[in-house]
Chain A
Amino acid sequence: MNRASSQLSAREIAVNRGGRSIFSDISFRLQDGELLAVTGANGAGKSTLLRAVAGLLPLAAGSIRLETADTEPRPVSESAHYFGHLDGLKPSLTVHDNLALWARVMGVPGVSVIEALEEVELDHLDDMPAGYLSAGQRRRASLARLLVVRRPLWLLDEPTSALDARSEAVFGALLAAHLGAGGLAIAATHRPLPVATAATLRIGAA
């Protein structure tokens, strides 16, 4: 983890989908250890913003820069964890096997798969096919993916949906630890986050 040196800045970004402008002229800046909350009505473009920052959607205008302590600059897509609505779990593979693939993606190796499952309190289900997990458990298994490889930026889309109060506290602790180690995070949410936010970005007509 790169301490006290990472910074994410977006300058006047705009995204079009299907020929229609979703949002334009959005700028923000994040220093290490900061959490940016993105709010807005349904359909305002919160998820679109996160996907655009991750590099999953092309920018129509503007630029996004992530500066980290790495000697060689990496694109944002290789420095960000995207935690979206879809959990990326294969129902027929065990929880452990599912995570084992994501432990090999580019980035600084984090904790082992079983340790990550312990963090999200799923270690007793590691040899269970992911298809048998409940919605909240799938969400937590997906959260463990953010721990097996360390990346400086977390992009969280409705991170606390389907989580119960206890799991939300677990998530809050993990996010606080990530920020405490100098990480960055952007969370799109309707509900109050269990971690103090540095800034709030409101998008859409309001």
Chain B
Amino acid sequence: MTGLFLALVGRTVKLSLGAGGGAFVGLIFFLSVVAVVPFGVGPDMKLLARIGPAMLWIAALLATLLGLDRLFQDDRDDGSLDQLMLSGLPLELVALAKAIGHWLATGLPLVLGAPVFGLILGLDATAIGLVTLTLLIGTPALIFIGAIGAALITALRRGGLLVAVLVLPFTIPVLIFGVSTITAVTTTGLPVMPPLLILVALSMASAVIGPVAAAAALRAGMD
């Protein structure tokens, strides 16, 4: 069963990175949002550096939500979901494998791109390091929470931006503790460990709750 789990992770990565997979669209969307901010805010480097970490986090959040709607829908449309349900692998693990694969293909590139995009916003080395670290810890939480929304819209046979509207409110805690970890060091001078540890806890809890809830939603949608 481990073989099937890993093969499913690998196939999800391959499909996301392949033609029409949409993994790079997320990264380009991330870049676009970040690149647009200085035009809107104006050439105030101090202000940019101050709001930069938050802008990177919001852009990463939106980019993550953008690619979620097809997570289970493609598998339902082409019959793969039926076969996965009969595969003997518990549906919770199917959802977990798909979410991990999706993170590797779409979340990890955002983390790797964050230092480059941080430079665009004029962040210093500490802030860039912290943005990258918090995104590394926080993006899995975004995707595990998002997987629930993706499973729900698959069950409801709806698509598009509905998943983003559904999921966005539930990702706010991740955003708050991600950004406050950074600002604790760069501006407010508060202790950094509490928000960082809460961010870790959010990721770990959602890694358990997300797949279980997504599997329940997929089962409920089998009618």
Tell me if chain B binds chain A: yes
Interface range on chain B (Cβ under 8 Å from partner): 20 to 34
A17 within 8 A of B: yes
Stretch at the interface among A34-42, A74-82, A114-122: A74-82
Given A93-B14, A101-B11, check contact A57 B223 (CB 8 Å).
yes
B161 at the interface (CB under 8 A from A): no
Contacts of A145 in B (CB 8 A): 83
A80: chain B residues at CB < 8 Å are 86
Which A residues are CB-close (under 8 A) to B124? none
Contacts of A18 in B (CB 8 A): 223
A105 within 8 A of B: yes
* Contact yes or no, A89 B78, CB < 8 A: yes
Contact A56 B82 (CB under 8 A): yes
Q: Is the CB of A88 within 8 A of B83?
A: yes
- Alpha-carbon distance A100/B7, docked complex (angstroms): 9
Q: Which residues of chain A have a CB within 8 Å of any CB of chain B? A: 17-18, 51, 54-58, 77-78, 80-82, 84-90, 92-93, 97, 100-102, 104-107, 145
Interface residues of B (CB under 8 A from A): 1, 3-4, 7-8, 11, 14-15, 18-21, 74, 77-80, 82-83, 85-89, 222-223
28 A/B residue pairs, CB under 8 Å, sorted by A: A54-B86, A57-B222, A58-B222, A58-B223, A77-B86, A77-B88, A78-B88, A82-B82, A87-B78, A87-B79, A88-B80, A88-B82, A89-B78, A90-B15, A90-B78, A92-B19, A92-B20, A92-B21, A93-B11, A93-B14, A93-B15, A101-B4, A101-B11, A105-B83, A106-B4, A106-B87, A107-B88, A145-B83
